[in-house]
Amino acid sequence: MTQKSPNLGIVRPALPSEGADRPEKRRLPRLALASEQFRLSSNGKVYPVADISTGGLALTLIEAQDLAQFPVGSLLEGHLNLQREKHEVLARVRNVGRDRVGCEFENVSEGLREALARYLDPIELGKLLRPMPGLDSGMLWYQGPSNTHLMLWRGTDGQYRRLAVQVLGNSIHWDSVDGVVTGKSHSAFEPDEVRGVLRFETLVFERDEKPDPSKLQVAKNLLVRSNLPKDLVGWCSRQLRFD
């Protein structure tokens, strides 16, 4: 029997009796090799950056023995490679998983602050969305830097039944049953599954009580200034109600 590839589907849904504030777990695919990298000064090793924000970054560990380099509370010194520019970084380790390290920036320089603001602008992220191989025949997937994704799923009739936007820790979803749902996502710090050039990360999704206009605006900025086909952007805009 052919094994189905995991996708952004719900791994552990909230039960009706648990309420809307119960976190869900979802799977998110990404390229195993990230363009953003962090070189640790203490050993000279380079680690892929799984996520980055104005407040910190998460590193992916390829080798389990590297965990010894990242005790919680330790201060890291190194260089962040961001859009082919290197920035000196100080970061405090805040949490650790089997193959993921979460860090908080300290003493951020003005140069790094400005670089992060440019890099994390949703309009700029939208311009860098690129088509990726779909995980199944009914899926359309675009990926950009810093864990930015647009995913759409078709039904057997060829019509889109579901879409998901992941950008800057915001999750915006639509499907033909529940309509628009927004929330925040963060790493569950569970081991990633690796299949070829793809990693499958488990995220914790905390949904909002009702759709958040600010998150919808972020999705709008991402999509309407992107290089995606205009008819696709228009369809997404209508479903997410910002056309």
Both 51 and 26 in a single domain? no
Given this model, what pLDDT does residue 169 score? 86
Conformational region of residue 83, where left means phi above 0, alpha means psi within -120 to 50, and beta covers everything else: left
Rounded CA separation 178/185 (Å): 19
Rounded CA separation 178/47 (Å): 39
Both 25 and 91 in a single domain? no
Both 128 and 59 in a single domain? no
Burial of 28 (0-12, 13-18, 19+ CB in 10 A): buried
User: Which of 119, 152, 179 is a domain's end point?
Assistant: 119
**What value does the CA radius of gyration of the chain take, rounded to a whole number of Å?**
18
Both 131 and 234 in a single domain? yes
Q: Which two tokens stand for residue 79?
A: 């260089």
Establish if 2 belongs to a structural domain. Answer: no
Q: For 79-141, give the DSSP string.
A: EEEETTEEEEEEEEEEEE-SSEEEEEEES--HHHHHHHHHHT-HHHHHHT-EEE--SSTTEEE
Q: Crossing angle for the helix pair 213-224 and 230-240, nearest 10 degrees?
A: 170
- When divided into structural domains, the chain yields a total of 2
The range of the structural domain enclosing residue 67 comes to 37-119
The CATH number of whichever domain residue 107 belongs to comes to: 2.40.10.220
Establish if 3 belongs to a structural domain. Answer: no
Given this model, what pLDDT does residue 199 score? 64
pTM of structure:
0.75
Both 173 and 62 in a single domain? no
Rounded CA separation 222/156 (Å): 28
pLDDT digits (tens, 9 = 90+) for 9-34: 544 444 344 444 556 777 766 655 56
Both 65 and 162 in a single domain? no
Given this model, what pLDDT does residue 241 score? 82
Establish if 43 belongs to a structural domain. Answer: yes
User: Which of 119, 149, 175 is a domain's end point?
Assistant: 119
| Whether the Cβ atoms of residue 180 and residue 162 lie closer than 8 Å to each other | no
Rounded CA separation 113/109 (Å): 6
Given this model, what pLDDT does residue 196 score? 56
User: Which of 86, 119, 152 is a domain's end point?
Assistant: 119
| Whether the Cβ atoms of residue 187 and residue 204 lie closer than 8 Å to each other | yes
Both 158 and 205 in a single domain? yes
**Residues of the chain with confidence (pLDDT) below 70:** 1-23, 28-34, 134, 188-199, 242-243
Rounded CA separation 26/162 (Å): 15
Establish if 1 belongs to a structural domain. Answer: no
